[in-house]
Structure 1
Amino acid sequence: MDLFDLTGKVAVVTGGTRGIGMMIARGLLQAGARVYISSRKADAGDAAVAELSEFGTVVSIPADVSKEAECIRLAEEVGKREEQVHILVNNAGATWGEDLEKFPESAWDKVLDLNLKAPFFVTRAFLPLLEKAASHEDPARVINIGSIAGLQPSAARTYSYSTSKAAVHQLTRNLSKELAPRRITVNAVAPGPFESKMMAATLAAAGDEMTKRVPLGRIGRPDDMAGIAVFLSSRAGSYLTGTIIPVDGGIAT
């Protein structure tokens, strides 16, 4: 068997309609998985399905995973279509930039609800489906999307974002310990700069300067993110759990 073959596997990617989530969804599809993507907006899901369907079977289920009830509904909707889920990617996220003196309470609520609480409640909602897919030889996989902003201080005034991502890394470690006996691995990917809607303004304003700070001399490409997701989801990554993997061209080294 190919170490990286995902044929027959079922994956769910939150925030899978654009940016890093779409990069991951495409990679999983190309490796043979059936992929369910979610975002708040149905039209964004439809557009993503139209773009991704050439690579395999992809289904959009709109959901606002910043709310626990929607996390539960998303799992129920997938459960109506699938008996088990092999791969769960908690990618949905938001950021907020503002000066310290003006940084509002709403920026903490919005960002932590989506970036930190959602991975917890989505994972919990999908546990029954993940456990059905899990085995000693081939664990089910949870992949949380963190950030290098959660690994080192940043000059950006995105206080709730960087804090939420550091917390996601610790949540990953905690869940990995609890779910390992249930044959579920939990790892996190900490991306550096990638072309995405979230990074668009930053790259437009300071893309050249940001690229200069990357030891490998470029920002991330879609295949870079697709590759790490396929690795963690496949037989090649079956013995890793509780890891935080920077995919950043060497910035956090």
Structure 2
Amino acid sequence: MTMKNLFSVSGKVALVTGGTSGIGLMIAQGLVENGAITYIAGRNGSACQEVAASLSANGTCHGLQGDISTNEGIQALLHTLGERETHLDILVNNAGAMSEAPIDSFSETDWDSVVDLNLKSAFFMVQAALPLLRKAAAKGPHASVINTGSIGGRRVGPKENYAYAAAKAGLHHMTGSLAKRLGPENITVNAIAPGIFPSRMTVLSEEMLKMVIGMIPVRRVGEPEDVAGSVIYLASRAGGFTNGAVLPMDGGSSL
């Protein structure tokens, strides 16, 4: 391996859940444009196909319909992927949801749906993907699991999104647990913790956006290159010795 290939993901097989919009789309675009054979998964099959076709203008991307909110849906998704690929180099657990409500009215249904998708599904995605990840790890240099956490899992924010914050904090800790168990198998597990990026979860008024930017030391919100670059680092040989980390991507706003 030469230094010029240190950050290469060319030819690697990647799966990005929730890859049709927001941070998932930014990650998928970065992987595709840097040569990874990328699969994006989401509940809306037509949206997956449309986004995959668009991204394929600059590389190779395939859309897979799948509902990962249930273990049955996860198993079905990985079965479909296994019919197309012999191994999986990069798994990005990005699909997520948020529910916001006052403490007096926050419902059990909202709690369960958010925690199930943001936390539980990430564990069972890794479990179901292990046969494909292990085949990639055996070939080297390593297979990579990257969980999309959040700045909200690192510090308490102003929103009443109790389940989201708890799930993301749990995801950060679970990342370490998985990293310790799977590291000896040449599978690294890390998390990214984004701050404010343009997405459906972070729609802000112009006034609120100005206030938020004023609280970020680098004085801007996140851009696609920021999140894509972090994922490419972790998935490439450059990140092969990074394991169990939660990488902040918030411009320093959590300091």
Q: For 1:228, which of 226, 230, 246 is the aligned residue? A: 230
Unaligned runs of 5+ in 1: none
Secondary structure at the residue paired with 2:32?
helix
Deviations 1:53-82 (CA, angstroms, capped at 9, x unpaired): 112111111111010011111111010000
Residues 204 and 91 of structure 1: is their aligned pair in 2 closer, same or farther, counting only changes over 3 Å?
Answer: farther
Counting only pairs closer than 5 Å after superposition, residues 1-253 of structure 1 correspond to structure 2 as: 1=2, 2-135=5-138, 137-200=140-203, 202=204, 206-253=208-255
- Looking at structure 2, the residues matched to 110 and 251 of structure 1 have their Cα atoms a distance apart, in angstroms, of 28
- Looking at structure 1, the residues matched to 191 and 78 of structure 2 have their Cα atoms a distance apart, in angstroms, of 21
Contact 1:131–1:140 (Cα < 8 Å) also in 2: yes
Shift of 1:158: 0.5
Query: Counterpart amino acid of 1:72?
Result: Q
- Looking at structure 2, the residues matched to 150 and 8 of structure 1 have their Cα atoms a distance apart, in angstroms, of 33
Q: TM-score, normalised by structure 1?
A: 0.97
- Looking at structure 2, the residues matched to 50 and 128 of structure 1 have their Cα atoms a distance apart, in angstroms, of 28
- Looking at structure 1, the residues matched to 33 and 139 of structure 2 have their Cα atoms a distance apart, in angstroms, of 25
Secondary structure at the residue paired with 1:134?
helix
Contact 1:193–1:199 (Cα < 8 Å) also in 2: yes
Query: Counterpart amino acid of 1:223?
Result: E
Shift of 1:50: 2.7
Q: How many residues are aligned here?
A: 252
Determine what percentage of the aligned residue pairs are the same residue.
44
Unaligned runs of 5+ in 2: none
Contact 2:49–2:64 (Cα < 8 Å) also in 1: no
Shift of 1:135: 3.7
Shift of 1:113: 0.9
Shift of 1:205: 6.5
Shift of 1:199: 1.1
Shift of 1:115: 0.2
Which runs of structure 1 show a deviation greater than 6 angstroms over 4 or more consecutive aligned residues? none
Shift of 1:203: 5.1
